[in-house]
């Protein structure tokens, strides 16, 4: 290798000490940064600032691909556009037909559960966001959106597309937000099986096309084709949003847990646009985040029942310490039991 | 030869490596994408240990932390260690033929990846898929080409 030929003869201890000393110094700084970032939230502002600083680079790197898409789109021929138009129109008509009776049904449902007016929809506001075409981490399922805190985005906000749940925001910068997809191995989503109401947790499997349901017992009532919806627990997603369809159920007689895989409804690998949703927190279907304080605001006059005292059990458990392993002692310890129990009952 | 000239080449190659790291690729290529920034840091710590060295590794790591990784400082520590290994052994590595260099690079990248793996685990973001070790192998395979490209930019700067 000729590239290494220059400047090899000089000693290294020029300035700043030996390499070992300098490495120790930098390693200590790095560890300090990690501890600060992990244990305290002092660096949350630094995260936000760094996202602001990195966003232009990310946009610049993604711009050739984005430009290519733009060129492709602007040269799209009339036929394909008309085809798309036709498809969208059909879809719109379909959705209109489906929602035609929705208002009436919502009112009817409200009357059935004893409310005078039907409830407002749980989603209050939504904002479309483009996915910046950028590689954040090859093995984790993360994407970058082009909306940030200037658009009112907060960490832990729900992200949906036209199919279903996509994920939630984790780090939010001024103009960009990082989204963890439901298929990320670190993401766990509380779900409910629509057919049976069984609640469980869907964990990402690490690729864009499957979710794992690792906590279902082998005798759980679950079949291929069952639909998973959000259960409303966990504080991010309201109840009832479609998540995935069960694609594979594997029950083994000797395994205590079933091996279940589900295919997400959201087009996680092909999406270019998603929706950020703001939810109304006073709706009963809203995520349960704001309502965990009910015990404190409850009726003060209702006292919990006192714990029943069990004196008999206490006394019977005391002797074994004194009783040495002899047959007579164990007999004696065993015999007083009925007597004491009878006394405590009277 | 002024002291600042390799620094400019260094900066250029670091920016190039960062772009290669961030560029969106089809998913099968993404899995085997080598750590270009790690290779760049390793090359400079071997070729010009005085100009860049451990500081280069640390700041490149911070740069990478800004874009990816669960906790700040993770790549900073790992790349500083990689640079330290390069600086410490630079004379021994330089004198080896390119095939043996690739083997050494493989070992160094494995250490680098292990540090990332350990920090991921300690901070509660464990990623246990064996796929994460693939870039180590591809990094070692691509080393002769990467070193040649980086050597050209180095020679152009001097």
Q: Does B25 touch chain A (CB under 8 A)?
A: yes
Which of B22, B27, B57 has its CB closest to that of A134?
A: B22
Contacts of B24 in chain A (CB under 8 A): 62, 65, 133-135
Which burial class, exposed, middle or buried, applies to A154 when counting CB atoms under 10 A from its CB (0-12, 13-18, 19+)? exposed
pLDDT confidence tier of residue B42, bands split at 50, 70 and 90: very high
- CA–CA separation, B78 vs A10, rounded Å? 26
Nearest to A230 by CA among A187, A271, A273, A201: A201
Under CATH, what is the fold of the domain B5-157?
Arp2/3 complex 21 kDa subunit ARPC3 (1.10.1760)
What is the signed CA dihedral for A13, A19, A22, A28, rounded to 10 degrees?
-160
pLDDT confidence tier of residue A339, bands split at 50, 70 and 90: very low
Contacts of A11 in chain B (CB under 8 A): none
CA B143-B146-B152 angle, to 5 degrees, is 135
Q: How large is the average pLDDT for residues A199-226?
A: 88
Question: Looking at per-residue confidence, does B29 or B104 come out higher?
Answer: B104
Interface of B with A in 44-103 (CB under 8 A): 46-50, 53-55, 57-58, 61, 66-69, 71-74, 76-77, 80-81, 83-84, 87-88, 90-91, 94, 98, 101
Which of A27, A54, A61 has its CB closest to that of B23?
A: A61
Residue B151 has pLDDT above 50, yes or no: yes
How far out from the chain centre does Cα A296 lie? Answer: 27
Q: What is the pLDDT of residues B118-132, one digit of tens each?
A: 998 888 888 778 888
Does the structural domain A123-289 have CATH classification 2.40.10.340?
Answer: yes
Contacts of A14 in chain B (CB under 8 A): 50
Q: How large is the average pLDDT for residues A142-150?
A: 90
pLDDT confidence tier of residue B7, bands split at 50, 70 and 90: confident
Q: How large is the average pLDDT for residues A206-214?
A: 86
Domain limits of chain A?
A: 18-74, 123-289
Check residue A193 and give its pLDDT: 92
Q: B106: which residues sit within 8 A by CB, 6+ positions away?
A: B136, B137, B139, B140
Check residue A320 and give its pLDDT: 45
Beta-strand relationship, A165-172 and A177-181:
antiparallel
Question: Looking at per-residue confidence, does B3 or A67 come out higher?
Answer: A67
Distance of residue A324 Cα from the nearest chain B Cα, in angstroms: 49
Closest residue on chain A to B145 (Cα): A1
DSSP letter for each residue of A171-225: EE-SS-EEEEETTSTT-EEEEEETTT--EEEEEE-SSTT-EE-TT-BTT----TT
Q: How large is the average pLDDT for residues B86-94?
A: 90
Question: Looking at per-residue confidence, does A252 or A197 come out higher?
Answer: A197
Calculate the alpha carbon distances from A153 to A177, B21, B111 in Å: 8, 27, 39
- CA–CA separation, B35 vs B38, rounded Å? 5
Closest residue on chain B to A30 (Cα): B73
DSSP secondary structure code for residue A257 in this structure: B
Domain limits of chain B?
A: 5-157
Most confident of A96-105, B64-73, B89-98: B89-98
Q: What is the pLDDT of residues A110-122, one digit of tens each?
A: 888 777 666 666 7
- Mean pLDDT estimate for chain A: 77
Calculate the alpha carbon distances from A289 to A200, A201, A277, A292, A296 in Å: 18, 17, 16, 6, 15
Check residue A6 and give its pLDDT: 47
Closest residue on chain B to A32 (Cα): B73
Which of B25, B88, B98 has its CB closest to that of A1?
A: B98
Which of A34, A54, A65 has its CB closest to that of B66?
A: A54
Interface of A with B in 176-195 (CB under 8 A): 185-186
Check residue B51 and give its pLDDT: 83
Check residue A335 and give its pLDDT: 41
Q: Does B9 touch chain A (CB under 8 A)?
A: no
Residue A346 has pLDDT above 60, yes or no: no
Phi, psi at B34, each rounded to 5°:
-75, 160
Nearest to A27 by CA among B49, B108, B73: B73
Q: Does A41 touch chain B (CB under 8 A)?
A: no
pLDDT confidence tier of residue A287, bands split at 50, 70 and 90: low
Distance of residue B137 Cα from the nearest chain A Cα, in angstroms: 16
Check residue B5 and give its pLDDT: 67
Q: What is the pLDDT of residues A71-89, one digit of tens each?
A: 888 887 788 888 989 999 9
Q: Do A30 and B67 touch (CB under 8 A)?
A: no
Q: How large is the average pLDDT for residues A177-201?
A: 90
Most confident of A33-47, A164-178, A267-281: A164-178
Asked if residue A148 lies in contact with residue A174, where contact means CB atoms within 8 angstroms, the answer is yes
Contacts of A62 in chain B (CB under 8 A): 24
Asked if residue B65 lies in contact with residue A25, where contact means CB atoms within 8 angstroms, the answer is no
DSSP letter for each residue of B118-139: HHHHHTT-----GGGGHHHHHH
Asked if residue A245 lies in contact with residue A262, where contact means CB atoms within 8 angstroms, the answer is yes
Interface A-B: count of C-beta contacts within 8 A = 141
Distance of residue B31 Cα from the nearest chain A Cα, in angstroms: 6
Q: Give the dihedral sign, CA A30/A34/A37/A40.
A: negative
Which burial class, exposed, middle or buried, applies to A98 when counting CB atoms under 10 A from its CB (0-12, 13-18, 19+)? exposed
Q: Does A66 touch chain B (CB under 8 A)?
A: no
């Amino acid at each position: 290798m000729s590239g290494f030929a220059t400047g090899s003869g000089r000693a290294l201890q020029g300035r700043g000490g030996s390499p070992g000393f300098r490495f120790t110094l930098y390693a200590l700084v790095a560890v300090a940064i990690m501890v600060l970032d992990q244990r305290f939230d002092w660096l949350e502002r630094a995260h936000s600032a760094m996202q602001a600083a990195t966003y232009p680079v990310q946009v610049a790197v993604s711009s050739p691909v984005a430009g290519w898409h733009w060129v492709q789109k602007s040269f799209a021929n009339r036929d394909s556009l008309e085809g798309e138009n036709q498809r969208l129109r059909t879809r719109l008509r379909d959705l209109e037909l489906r929602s035609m009776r929705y208002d009436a049904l919502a009112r009817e449902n409200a009357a059935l559960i004893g409310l005078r007016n039907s409830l407002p929809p749980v989603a209050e506001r939504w904002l479309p966001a483009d996915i910046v075409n950028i590689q954040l981490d090859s093995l984790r399922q993360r994407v970058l959106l082009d909306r940030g805190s200037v658009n009112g985005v907060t960490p832990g906000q729900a992200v949906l597309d036209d199919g279903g749940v996509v994920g939630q925001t984790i780090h939010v910068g001024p103009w960009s937000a990082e989204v963890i997809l439901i298929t990320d191995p670190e993401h766990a989503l509380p779900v409910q099986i629509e057919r049976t109401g069984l609640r469980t947790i869907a964990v990402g499997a690490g690729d864009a096309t499957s979710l794992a349901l690792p906590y279902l017992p082998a005798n759980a009532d679950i079949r291929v084709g069952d639909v998973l919806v959000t259960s409303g627990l966990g504080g991010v997603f309201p109840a009832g949003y479609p998540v995935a369809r069960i694609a594979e159920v594997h029950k083994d007689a000797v395994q205590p847990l079933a091996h279940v895989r589900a295919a997400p409804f959201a087009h996680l690998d092909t999406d270019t646009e998603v929706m950020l949703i703001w939810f109304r927190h006073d709706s009963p279907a809203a995520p349960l985040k704001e309502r965990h304080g009910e015990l404190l605001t409850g009726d003060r006059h209702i006292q919990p029942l006192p714990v029943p005292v069990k004196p008999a059990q206490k006394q019977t458990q005391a002797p074994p310490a004194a009783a040495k392993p002899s047959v007579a002692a164990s007999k004696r310890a065993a015999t007083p039991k009925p007597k004491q129990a009878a006394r405590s009952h009277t | 030869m002024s002291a600042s000239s390799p620094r400019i080449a260094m900066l250029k190659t670091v920016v190039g490596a960062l772009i290669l790291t961030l560029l969106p690729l089809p998913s099968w290529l993404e899995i085997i994408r080598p750590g270009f920034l790690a290779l760049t840091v390793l090359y400079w710590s071997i070729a010009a240990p005085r100009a860049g060295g451990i500081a280069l590794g640390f700041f490149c790591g911070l740069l990478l932390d800004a874009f990816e990784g669960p906790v700040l400082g993770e790549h900073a520590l790992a790349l500083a260690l990689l640079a330290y290994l390069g600086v410490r052994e630079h004379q021994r590595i330089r004198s080896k033929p390119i095939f043996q260099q690739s083997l050494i690079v493989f070992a160094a990248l494995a250490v680098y990846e292990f540090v990332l793996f350990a920090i991921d685990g300690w901070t509660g973001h464990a990623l246990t898929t064996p796929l994460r070790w693939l870039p180590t192998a591809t990094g070692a395979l691509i080393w002769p080409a990467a070193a040649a490209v980086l050597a050209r930019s180095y020679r152009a700067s001097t």
